[in-house]
Chain A
Amino acid sequence: MTAWEPPDRPRSRLAYCCPEKMAEDREPPPLADAVQTDFREVEEGEDLFVSTVSTAEQLSPTSPEPASFPAEDISTNSNGPKQEILLDDDQEDLFAEATEEVSLDSPEREPILSDGPSPAITPVTPTVIITPRVDALFDRSLDEDEEAEENGDTFDMQITVSDPEKVGDGMNAYMAYKVTTKTSLSLFSRNEFSVKRRFSDFLGLHSKLASKYMHIGYIVPPAPEKSIVGMTKVKVGKEDLSSAEFVEKRRSALERYLMRTVNHPALVKDPDVIQFLENTELPRAVSTQALSGAGILRMVNKAADAVNKMTIKMNESDAWFEEKQQQFENLDIQLRKLHASVESLVCHRKELSVNTASFAKSAAMLGNSEDHTALSRALSQLAEVEEKIDQLHHEQAYADFYLFSELLGDYVRLITAVKGVFDQRMKTWSKWQDAQVMLQRKREAEAKLQYANKPDKLQQAKDEIKEWEAKVQQGERDFEQISKNIRREVERFEKQRVKDFKVVIIKYLESLVHTQQQLIKYWEAFLPEAKAIA
């Protein structure tokens, strides 16, 4: 157990929630100009928060990172879109200022929007590549990360998964991803390094970690799911939008997976993890294949576990566990429901985007055939507005997806892992109970042998009793240990969950604000055209 470290400087957890670290490498997308993120470095602000952190921090000895934090970082950003906000020493001012701004609806606040006749409405070029747009939404996160790093965090690690590359041909082909790690931790031999990994490598890593840590109660982050359909398309070489989307979705998921894994204080030190991140060559993890011997063994074990779960009736002496299990059960149900609704929203927004584009074309045609000049022009302008709006919907759908939907999907899987850990505790308890039963039986056998007067068998019996006494003790220790671990893990998990959700939801709301901003801009430009119809 490492000594408790004093709370660190505030650091953003946004990095791993937001897959697009690569945004730095890409050119700024067309949206960036509309949304001005005047983010000021918050040097003075930092001190302010360190003090609150020390009181806020719940004492979790092995977790080096501060509790729920990024609120401060976000605040500057989400008010960011149009104004610069200075973090004074007096926090109240921050919000007073902003509130004032919000209630006014004056033109000064909106330098982008013109009240006069519309400037030339530039045609929107449809983008084929999806990712740059999502980057736009995540652009702001970069500022925060850089700022955090500058302050010299002691736990700092940044992992990016990038450059998906198809290796090989036909059905033996696979995607190789570049995993880049930037860190100042002494665990690693260098500060910055990268390796090439394939999907099965990630699965292999998870499988090793799960087998090492789940049974002692650590919540091991689950790896992204396999997808036979998705991969087959890629292997077959279909160079279309859906396979590009699939690869991007997977890349993003892998990045989040690694970040979650290294954020776990015990897992980051695990040699398998270090090896995964550092070693150029990694033994191929064949046991992750579904139809391998190991795969089938896993399936059998899973089934056995399910049966056991039903049969073990645990005497729960600790109300905390019972309560927590119920809570996670409820959370699971609601998150799944929410996930389904958000996925439906993504789907409908994509549909809306397509239908809007189609309407735009139709309106343009109508404008062409209209013989009244001014009306014809207005209809063409309407068509242009609608075309831009369709792009907007398209981007919003991606925000819906990458921000909201994927977060929910990750948490649904994480909660399954949490439930798994509770199950492990049950199994440990069961083992302990079984050992006690066995001990009892051995004692009874020994007592019987006392009467039967068989000295050699008696000795054996006594030895067995000693053995089982030790096992019972071990069982009890294991049970206590796992219970303790779980308590700690759940606390850490809950804190992380709170942080993740807050950060992501606020970011998502920002994306919604951005969309409305753009809508306002477009319609304001159109209005004079409509009025000009004589």
Chain B
Amino acid sequence: MQTGLEKVLEWFPRAVNVDLQTDATLQVDISDALSERDKVKFTVHTKSTLPNFKQNEFSVVRQHEEFIWLHDSFVENEEYAGFIIPPAPPRPDFDASREKLQKLGEGEGSMTKEEFTKMKQELEAEYLAIFKKTVAMHEVFLCRVAAHPVLRKDLNFHVFLEYNQDLSVRGKNKKEKLEDFFKNVVKSADGVIVAGVKDVDDFFEHEKTFLLEYHNRVKDASAKSDRMIRSHKSAADDINRIASTLYTLGTQDSTDMCKFFLKVSELFEKTRKIEARVAADEDLKLADLLKYYLRESQAAKDLLYRRGRALVDYENANKALDKARAKNKDVLQAETTQQVCCQKFEKISESAKQELIDFKTRRVAAFRKNLVELAELELKHAKKIRQNLYIGNLQLLQSCLAVLKGDT
């Protein structure tokens, strides 16, 4: 199902794309997106003055798997061990929405034409919202990479941006997925061991404790906000049905109630539309924000893990060196190993500190922006609903009085 995109891109809600360095040397965005049966095709548009690229402005089409490939290539690159790797965008998931549309299609016979059209519009709007979100998340990923002083120079990234053929990146097959699973298990176990090692550096020790707690709480808040927003949507759906039934009552009623019912139905309908917007905005400004920082805080934790790992390796190398010196055997080898570990550790530590500070700055800015926007939107919507209700109430009362005056 192809969706009309010009409207989509007009008020593109860039939920978490906050003040990333948008200098002229490299600007990336997703200018277009197409939703086909089971995949989404993103048009990645680049504007750059860097000499690395053949042209100053160009576009390619990419799919979700290619984004994942790029992300994984960063994670696997030892050179980037000291950075917070921008979290991969989540897979586009239209299943739920598609299922609902299908159910609606099946139940078409059991509802009136108005109801059917209304529900269809609702579901299409929902589909569109999910679509916009997934586009935003993929874009944020690219922007973060483009804004990072080192990652933006990555070769894979340039290939991703420029190579206008298919990257032939296949998704992982079962064997590879299983391998990944085991790797993760090992990593978590290791992570626990590494985390147990007390760090001399206060800054990192503090960050470790902070991130662990923060990550868990963001996870909780994210889940709870999702549930809250879902209830909100259900309530809006109910109001939708109430509006429809009131409309039917209005068309059927024999007394002077009919105009009354029609007016009330209209009022409910207007209210419902705005309530649905409220839920959607909450989703965008709050739920998405929390989800994003859940992923980012995980990436930060991963960085700390890598550093911790390097520290343990370094300490082990030191011990090995001492032993070697004591036994006077393989000293040179031990020295080299120790040097390598030391350098690795120091390199990671240096960049990690800056990365974590940047993470905090970004986080504070993103929360500020989103919380302010959330409050403003909530206010705007509440005022609109209130205004509609006032006017509606007035009109209803006027009609009540009119009936009395005109009655004989």
Interface residues of A (CB under 8 A from B): 49, 52-53, 55-56, 67-69, 71-72, 74-75, 78-79, 91, 95, 98-99, 102, 105, 327, 330-331, 334-335, 337-338, 341-342, 344-345, 348-349, 351-352, 355-356, 358-359, 361-363, 365-366, 368-372, 374-375, 378-379, 382, 494, 497-498, 501-502, 505-506, 509-510, 512-513, 516-517, 519-520, 523-524, 526-527, 530-531, 533
Contact = CB atoms under 8 A, between A and B. Distances in A.
B167 interface: no
Interface of B: 210, 213-214, 217-218, 220-221, 224-225, 227-228, 230-232, 234-235, 238-239, 241-242, 245-246, 248-249, 252-257, 260, 264, 267, 271, 360, 363-364, 367-368, 371-372, 374-376, 378-379, 382-383, 385-387, 389-394, 396-398, 400-401, 403-405, 407-408
A530 B386 contact: no
A102 B390 CA distance: 7
Contacts of A371: 210, 360
B290 to A, nearest CB: 8
Given A348-B238, A516-B382, A520-B379, A331 B252 contact: yes
A321 to B, nearest CB: 14
Contacts of B217: 362, 365-366, 368-369
Contacts of A53: 404
A523 B404 contact: no
Contacts of A533: 364, 367-368, 371
Contacts of A331: 249, 252-253
A372 B232 contact: no
Dominant secondary structure of chain A at its interface with chain B: helix
Contacts of B218: 366
Given A71-B400, A523-B378, A498 B255 contact: yes
B224 A358 contact: yes
A341 B397 CA distance: 25
Given A506-B396, A509-B267, A523 B254 contact: no
Given A99-B391, A533-B367, 9 more contacts: A68-B403, A327-B254, A355-B231, A497-B255, A501-B260, A509-B267, A523-B375, A523-B378, A526-B375
Contacts of A348: 231, 234-235, 238
Given A68-B403, A351-B234, A519 B257 contact: no
- Top 6 A-B pairs ranked by shortest CB distance? A71-B400, A352-B231, A345-B238, A530-B371, A533-B368, A516-B386
A79 B235 CA distance: 26
B382 A375 contact: no
A359 B407 contact: no
Contacts of B393: 78-79, 506, 509-510, 513
Contacts of A334: 245, 248-249, 252
B235 A352 contact: yes
A443 to B, nearest CB: 44
Contacts of A363: 221
Contacts of A375: 363-364, 367-368
B389 A509 contact: yes
A494 B225 contact: no
B375 to A, nearest CB: 4
B228 A516 contact: no
A48 to B, nearest CB: 10
A506 B397 contact: yes
A497 B260 CA distance: 13
B279 to A, nearest CB: 10
14 contacts: A55-B407, A68-B403, A71-B397, A71-B403, A75-B400, A78-B393, A334-B249, A349-B231, A352-B228, A366-B221, A498-B256, A505-B260, A509-B392, A513-B389
